Amino acid sequence: MTNQFDLTDEQREIQDLARRFTADAITPHAAEWDEKHIFPRDTIRAAAELGFGSIYVSEESGGIGLGRLEAALIMEAMAYGCPSTSAFISIHNMGAWMIDQFGGQAVKDKYLPDLVPMTRMASYCLTEAGSGSDAAALKTRAVRDGDHYVVTGSKQFISGGGENEIYVTMVRTGEEGAKGISCLVIEKDMDGVSFGAQERKLGWHSQPTAQVNFDGVRVPVDNLIGAEGEGFRIAMMGLDGGRLNIGACSLGGAQRCIDEALQYTKERKQFGQNIADFQNTQFMLADMQTELEAARTLLYAAAVKVTANAPDKTRFAAMAKRLATDTGSAVADRALQLHGGYGYLMDYPVERFWRDLRVHSILEGTNQVMRMIVARDMLKQ
C-alpha cells in the first residue's frame, strides 16, 4: 500500500539505478574533472545508455518516456556525485524534449536518433549578453529567405558551447517582445556558427560554457520547432522542467554535503570529544536536513504537477526551484563551516559543491525572477 507521498516501486528502481551509476562512474572521478576542467563525454554517453539522455522523450521517438518526478530522481542521484555533470545532462534532456514535443516529424527524424544515445549533444540557447532575466528582449534575428532562415546574433553562457553539436535556439522572426520569437535547431558545423573562448567560472568546471555566435547562418525552414512566434512559449515550457531538474541537482549536491559533514563531525575531535557530540553541531545538522527535506517535498510535488500539465505547474516549478536552490547553497555553506579550515581545502569535496551549487540560484531564471513568477500568478487570482 503506497500513499501519495511515497515513491512507487518503479520510481525506487530508477532512483537505485541512477545511484549505482553515480557511485561507480561519477563520484570517484568528479574531483579530478573539477580540478582539471575535464568534460567527461564518455561518462555522459554511458548515462545515455541507461536512457538518461532522453528521460522524457517519448518512447515512439526512442526515449524512455518517463515523467518529471522520475527525471528529478535521476538528476538528484547524479548530482550527489557531481552537480555540474548532472546539470549538463539535464540541459541536453531539455533540448531533446523540445524537439520531440514541438518539432515536426522531419526534424524529429533528423535529430532524435542521435540525441537519444547522446552521440550528438544538445544545448539550449536563450540568454544573450543584453537579455538575461528579460529573455523576451532577445535580439538574435532569423530572416526567412526561400526555404531557409538566415540567422544573425549571439547567445551567452551556453552550456555545451563549442562542444555540443546541436543548438536549440530562440531567435526573433517577428515583432519586438515574446510574440516575435521562434525556435530553430542549429548545427555546430553550419557555415557562420562560431564560439567564444571557454568561460572561466567559479564552479561547473566539468562542463564547457561559451558564447555561441551566428553570422548569417542558413538554417532549413524544416528546423523550425513549433510555428513562427511560438518560440517563447516553447522556451518557457522547457524551463518548467529545467527548473525542476536544476532544483533536483541542488537537492542531490546538498544531501552529499550533509553526509560529508556527518562523517567529518563524527571523526573530528575538539576539546576532548567528537564535534558531532556538541549540541551546536547537532542543531546545525538537524536544521540542514529538515530544510532540505521540505525543499525536496515541494520539488517532488511540483514535478508531479508539471507531468500532469496542471494549471499551477509553472508557479509550483518556480517555487520549488527557488526553495531547492537557495536551500542547497545554504546547506553546502553550513557543511563547509562544520568542516572548519579543512572545508576550505580541495582535499574535501564540500568546497566543490559549495562552488557548483551557487550558480543554481542564477540559471534557468534567477531566483528573483522565480519570485516574480509566483507573485504574478498569486495576484491574478
**Has residue 373 got a pLDDT over 60?**
yes
Q: What is the pLDDT of residues 231-266, one digit of tens each?
A: 999 999 999 999 999 999 999 999 999 999 999 999
pLDDT of residue 2: 61
**Closest by CA position to 117, among listed 151, 157, 165:** 165
Indicate if the pLDDT at residue 110 is higher than 60: yes
Q: Cβ distance 170 to 125 under 8 Å?
A: yes
Distance between CA atoms of residues 26 and 82, nearest Å: 7
Q: In this predicted model, which residue has the larger pLDDT, 381 or 253? A: 253
Grid coordinates representing 57 are 522523450
DSSP string over 163-218: T-SEEEEEEE-SSSSGGGEEEEEEETTSTTEEE-PPP--SS-TTS-EEEEEEEEEE
pLDDT number for residue 120: 98
Q: What is the pLDDT of residue 22?
A: 98
Phi, psi of 121, rounded to the nearest 5 degrees: -115, 150
Residues 234, 226 contacting (CB under 8 angstroms): yes
Confidence of residue 381 (pLDDT cuts 50, 70, 90): confident
Angstrom CA distances, 29 to 35, 39, 187, 197, 199, stand at 10, 11, 30, 25, 22
Q: What average pLDDT does range 172-188 have in this prediction?
A: 97
**pLDDT single digits (tens) 115-159:** 999 999 999 999 999 999 999 999 999 999 999 999 999 999 999
pLDDT at 70 over 70: yes
pTM for the predicted model, two decimal places: 0.97
Between CA 130 and CA 21 the distance in angstroms is 39
Going by pLDDT thresholds of 50, 70 and 90, the confidence category of residue 1 is low
**Percentage of the chain surpassing pLDDT 70?**
99
For the chain, give the mean pLDDT.
97
Element of type H or E holding 274: strand 273-274
Percent of the chain whose predicted confidence (pLDDT) is above 90 = 98
Instruction: Given the residues 70, 76, 351, 364, select the one marked as catalytic.
Output: 364
pLDDT given at position 273: 98
Q: Find, among 328, 314, 180, 182, the residue nearest to 251 by Cα.
A: 328
Question: How confident is the model over 305-337, as pLDDT tens digits?
Answer: 999 999 999 999 999 999 999 999 999 999 999
Residue-wise pLDDT tens digits, 41-62: 999 999 999 999 999 999 999 9
- At 5 the pLDDT is 86
Active site includes 13?
Answer: no
C-alpha to C-alpha distance for 354 and 334, rounded to whole angstroms: 10
